[in-house]
Chain A
Amino acid sequence: TQLLEQSPQFLSIQEGENLTVYCNSSSVFSSLQWYRQEPGEGPVLLVTVVTGGEVKKLKRLTFQFGDARKDSSLHITAAQPGDTGLYLCASRGGTSYGKLTFGQGTILTVHP
């Protein structure tokens, strides 16, 4: 099972600040997904990255996949209180089952 190390575990910032969350592995990802989870709900997919060096943008969120496909980052510009939640990176297995292995998660709190 691939191990994903996510950092930081907790992030508490003021509205308007920028932040970056990291996801690392000792082995190569076949693909990597980022999820966001709000309290009382299940995780919801934000993005999937597949190609090394890939950059995807989702409004104020920028996702980057490392060239060697062993790390990824999520950058949020000008964070808002609505960004508060648990952010999870996950790697899908290479079989057709595609079971997800998750990082520990980053709990983000954005204060007004």
Chain B
Amino acid sequence: DVKVTQSSRYLVKRTGEKVFLECVQDMDHENMFWYRQDPGLGLRLIYFSYDVKMKEKGDIPEGYSVSREKKERFSLILESASTNQTSMYLCASSPPLTLSGNTIYFGEGSWLTVV
């Protein structure tokens, strides 16, 4: 069965802390993504990666960085957490796109609260 696993479901961090959100997929997918989800805004892409050590900025990369040292693992880093980064974070993976549109598989999400 397809699996995207996010290591932490619920986190509470203090303003200014460094935060790591980890994501692992077991499908040998090339593409991995980090989204954040906020009410009324849908899902917004933070960063994505199409290969090991490769990364591209999404629509809202400010305040975030990512790391992809191994194909199966994609980490999201908040260098100095702020309260406006309180959100639900979703990791996803997919194989390369085909015309018919490959499925993107999502993890269950990580709820981050910054106080």
Point out residues on A near B: beta carbons under 8 Å: 1, 4, 6, 9, 31, 33, 40-45, 48, 50, 88, 90, 92-105
Contacts and interface: CB of A to CB of B under 8 A. Distances in A.
A100 B93 CA distance: 11
Given A42-B4, A42-B106, A50 B59 contact: no
B109 A104 contact: no
B96 A96 contact: yes
B45 A41 contact: no
Given A96-B50, A98-B96, A44 B106 contact: yes
B40 A9 contact: yes
Contacts of B103: 45, 48
Interface string B40-54: 111111001010000
A40 B107 CA distance: 10
B109 A99 contact: no
B40 A40 contact: no
B84 interface: no
A88 B106 contact: no
Contacts, number: 78
Contacts of B41: 104
B56 interface: yes
Contacts of B48: 97, 99
Contact of B108 (A1, A9, A42): A42
Contacts of A44: 106
A41 B101 contact: no
Contact of A95 (B45, B94, B97): B97
Nearest to B45: A99
Contacts of B56: 97
A94 B97 CA distance: 8
B110 to A, nearest CB: 10
Contacts of B24: none
Given A9-B40, A99-B33, A102-B43, A41 B108 contact: yes
B90 to A, nearest CB: 5
Contacts of B40: 9, 104-105
Nearest to A101: B45
